[in-house]
Structure 1
């Protein structure tokens, strides 16, 4: 059991580092960003489950702060936007048992559904916290005439939709080519 735990921690560290590196390549649209780092995080969550996923997201958030990738305007905002929000991305792992069962039974349709559901859950959970900080800390950047809540909803809502679609498609392509990457012992 301890050997498996060590394996999960090592894998988590590698995945968090990969997510950070991928995040260094910003892809931004008009009023939203695409979190490409969520691709390896969600893959890990589907392989190891939500508990390990939360730990990995937390590492990703801490790496982002420590290595200078964080946008900082207030200490509370930093905590909510990085360790907390990124950890919540780990909730993508809630779907892991269902995906692993669909994979074992060879049900491609269910597997596709669970990959997108997992991606949506993790992305929505993460951007919920970004929405909160958007209201309380980033609202001053709202266009004139927009309420801070609406501004944060539009910006973060767009990020949820686009990140879910792009990450979900990337994970689906990966699943079709290397299904074994999605099967692991849930932690």
Structure 2
């Protein structure tokens, strides 16, 4: 019996001494929690049509690139996450996260940058799903957008730290490089998102752009 407990203990120690194992556990836990959350969602045809339109708009805006950043960091675009945020603000976080997850998969298909299966999880589905957290701040759209983008940054930071450390300049640690690179990438996109949310009348946009007949 003692040997069994020692084996389990050694297994846990090995897992928590390995950053990849910790990231894999974290990703698995988030996916499980998301699936549990998605079970609560009830989609009608109108909601699905609006999600589809949001995904189409997000994809189009993603193609409008202002700056392409090197080494797979990403690009500064014309607010591709804004349609996801708008859906989240009007339908809630669960549908917002589902929309973000679907957009992450679309983004992976259209412009993949793959170095490791775990990196794919942390650079595509999870960060865009995190944008949907804006739905928890329905009456505070800027705070909601900032929270969603902050967690998007966290996922990209983990990916950058684990898988892109070789691009760090001399004298930089992988953590510092990932922080600076992803803070620049996500922060610049957040500024564009905030500007768009400030100048666009969100309720009017939702009613007109996302209008779908009954």
**Alignment partner of 1:23 is 2:53:** no
Corresponding residue for residue 104 of structure 1: none
**Alignment partner of 1:94 is 2:120:** no
Q: Tell me, what secondary structure is at the counterpart of 2:67?
A: strand
Alpha-carbon distance between aligned partners in 2 of 1:116 and 1:26, rounded to the nearest angstrom: 23
Alpha-carbon distance between aligned partners in 2 of 1:91 and 1:141, rounded to the nearest angstrom: 31
Corresponding residue for residue 31 of structure 2: none
Alpha-carbon distance between aligned partners in 2 of 1:5 and 1:181, rounded to the nearest angstrom: 21
**Alignment partner of 1:174 is 2:200:** yes
- Higher relative CO (Cα under 8 Å, sequence separation at least 6) belongs to 1
Q: Is the 8 A contact 2:93 2:132 kept in 1?
A: yes
Q: Is the 8 A contact 1:46 1:93 kept in 2?
A: yes
Out of 93, 109, 113, the position equivalent to 1:50 is 93
**Number of aligned positions between the proteins:** 164
Corresponding residue for residue 109 of structure 1: none
CA 1:15–1:30: 2 relative to 1, 3 Å: closer
TM-score by length of 2: 0.69
Corresponding residue for residue 142 of structure 1: 168
CA 1:82–1:30: 2 relative to 1, 3 Å: closer
Alpha-carbon distance between aligned partners in 2 of 1:74 and 1:93, rounded to the nearest angstrom: 31
Gaps of 5+ in 2: 1-40
Q: Tell me, what secondary structure is at the counterpart of 1:70?
A: coil
Corresponding residue for residue 160 of structure 1: 186
Corresponding residue for residue 13 of structure 2: none
Q: Is the 8 A contact 1:116 1:164 kept in 2?
A: no
Tell me the C-alpha RMSD between the 2 structures.
2.4
Tell me how far 1:169 sits from its aligned partner.
Answer: 1.0
Return 30-39 or 13-22, whichever deviates more.
30-39
When Rg is computed on C-alpha atoms for both structures, the one with the higher figure is 2
CA 1:174–1:150: 2 relative to 1, 3 Å: same
Q: Is the 8 A contact 1:120 1:160 kept in 2?
A: no
Alpha-carbon distance between aligned partners in 2 of 1:125 and 1:77, rounded to the nearest angstrom: 16
